């Protein structure tokens, strides 16, 4: 079909771009005490006035003050911007920009999950790019190097600490707008498991499934490379082993650390190999019904993988083999889906939801296919009828 050739041409172009455009990696500090190491590095680099971009939940838990005090003890002036809400909107970013300019900051430190990191990325971009956010959205439109950005993730899923993307929402339409540019990669990141142990079990499960979806969609992407597939497999193995532990025993520091690394590896995979239909479903369901991103990914992942067979059979077989115990020798694509099913049950992820309204199907189909076909190198194209059938499978 001509349309499919156009989509393929566009996503092939993205693969070429990913192979020639340099993708920076953040300098990584990991393990207990890495937040202090990051703060010390910021001070050593000569920055003196930090905007701490975070949310009120982390302020209430005392985590934001703890980080602020650590940074202040190293001589840094810290100005708190704690107005980040889930799915940050343009107006939140403009408020953060005003806070940065009013305090005459010279760098930004993001503390939080994907919303805080994405909000901070776009504030940093706006500091140096005097154009409205809408004009920064899309591919390679952040022309000037953003303000220096440092991040401390407090969830293990988004991968935003390493990716070239930031997703922000239009406050009127609630549609999510991605900004995609290598200049958005933070300079440095600290993965400190001590900040993750208070994450509730449900959020741990949802964000872990988001990381898993990043790794799987990157693995089956037509733009995957040997390098991105290695990162995907590393992430998937860690998630299968440690997500149930992190959900069941939140204070397990080793499990928390491994999940932080898994999220980072999955981010390394998808920032180059891109994503697929599962994320197109998740973004549309999130925008329409406010479903948490990881939960929405969980709803769509298995049906999309089943739909994508037999095209992705070799890839799923390899993933299944990677998860085999030493005494197992044979594994199939269907085995991998069965293993996902078992993981879902272990961490309490739902495969259907009552949130979907059947009368919204046509609108959702349009949003999903538009996002997927013009952005993601999907291994098998889905038509409108197939997309509607898949929505029906996840609706109770």
List the x/- string, 185-214, binding to Fe ion by CB under 5 A. Answer: -------------------------x----
Q: How far is the CB of 214 from Fe ion (least distance, A)?
A: 6
Residue among 340, 311, 306 nearest 323 (CA): 340
User: Which residue is at the shortest CB distance from Fe ion?
Assistant: 210
Nearer to Fe ion, 114 or 186 (CB): 114
Instruction: Give the span between the Cα atoms of 212 and 214, in whole angstroms.
Output: 5
Q: How far is the CB of 176 from Fe ion (least distance, A)?
A: 11
CB of 210 to Fe ion, least distance (A): 4
Residue 118 contacts Fe ion per CB under 5 A:
no
Nearer of residues 206 and 210 to Fe ion, judged by Cβ: 210
- Closer CB to Fe ion, residue 64 or residue 211? 211
If one counts every other C-beta atom within 10 angstroms of the C-beta of residue 323, the result is 18
Pick 216 or 319: Cβ nearer Fe ion? 216
Task: Name, in order, each residue with C-beta under 8 angstroms of 32's C-beta and a sequence gap of 6 or more.
Answer: 192, 193, 194, 253
219, 235 in Cβ contact below 8 A?
A: no
| Cα(282)–Cα(271) distance, integer angstroms | 17
Contacts by 93-97, CB closer than 8 A, 24 or more apart? 93/119, 93/122, 93/123, 93/126, 93/133, 93/168, 94/126, 94/133, 96/51, 96/53, 96/120, 96/123, 97/123, 97/126, 97/127
For residue 225, the minimal CB distance to Fe ion (Å) is: 20
Give the count of residues interacting with Fe ion (CB under 5 A).
Answer: 1
Compare residues 67 and 165 and give the one whose CB is closer to Fe ion.
Answer: 165
Residues 209-248 that bind Fe ion (CB under 5 A): 210
Q: Which residue's CB is nearer to Fe ion, number 92 or number 155? A: 155
- Report, in Å, the least distance between residue 371 CB and Fe ion: 13
CA dist., res. 157 & res. 117, Å (int): 12
Least separation in angstroms between CB 262 and Fe ion: 13
Binding site for Fe ion (CB under 5 A): 210
């Amino acid at each position: 079909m001509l349309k499919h050739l156009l989509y393929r041409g566009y996503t092939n172009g993205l693969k070429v771009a990913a192979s020639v455009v340099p993708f920076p990696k953040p300098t990584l500090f990991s393990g207990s005490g890495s937040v202090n190491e990051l703060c010390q590095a910021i001070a050593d680099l000569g920055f003196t006035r930090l905007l701490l971009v975070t949310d009120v939940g982390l302020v209430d838990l005392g985590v934001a003050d703890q980080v602020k005090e650590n940074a202040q003890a190293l001589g840094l002036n810290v100005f708190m911007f704690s107005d980040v809400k889930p799915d940050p909107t343009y107006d939140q970013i403009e408020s953060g920009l005003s806070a940065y300019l009013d305090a005459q900051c010279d760098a930004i430190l993001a503390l939080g999950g994907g919303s805080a990191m994405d909000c901070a990325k776009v504030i940093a971009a706006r500091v140096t790019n005097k154009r409205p956010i809408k004009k920064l959205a899309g591919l390679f439109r952040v022309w000037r190097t953003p303000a220096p950005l440092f991040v401390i993730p407090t969830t293990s899923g988004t991968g935003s600490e390493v990716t070239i993307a930031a997703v922000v929402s239009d406050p009127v339409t609630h549609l999510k707008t991605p900004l995609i540019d290598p200049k958005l990669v933070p300079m440095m990141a600290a993965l400190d498991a001590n900040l993750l142990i208070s994450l509730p079990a449900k959020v741990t499960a949802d964000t872990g499934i988001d990381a898993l979806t990043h790794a799987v969609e990157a693995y089956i992407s037509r733009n995957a490379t040997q390098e991105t597939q290695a990162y995907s497999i590393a992430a998937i193995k860690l998630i299968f082993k440690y997500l149930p532990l992190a959900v069941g025993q939140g204070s397990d520091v080793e499990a928390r650390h491994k999940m932080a690394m898994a999220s980072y590896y999955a981010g390394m995979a998808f920032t180059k190999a891109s994503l697929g239909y599962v994320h197109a479903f998740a973004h549309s369901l999130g925008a329409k019904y406010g479903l948490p991103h990881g939960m929405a990914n969980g709803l769509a992942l298995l049906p999309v993988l089943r739909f994508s067979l037999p095209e992705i059979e070799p890839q799923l077989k390899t993933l299944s083999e990677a998860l085999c115990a030493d005494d197992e020798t044979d594994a199939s694509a269907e085995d991998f889906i069965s293993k996902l099913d078992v993981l879902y049950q272990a961490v309490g992820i739902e495969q259907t939801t009552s949130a979907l309204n059947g009368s919204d199907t046509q609108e959702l189909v349009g949003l999903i296919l538009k996002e997927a076909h013009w952005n993601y190198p999907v291994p098998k194209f889905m038509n409108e009828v197939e997309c509607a059938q898949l929505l029906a499978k996840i609706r109770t």
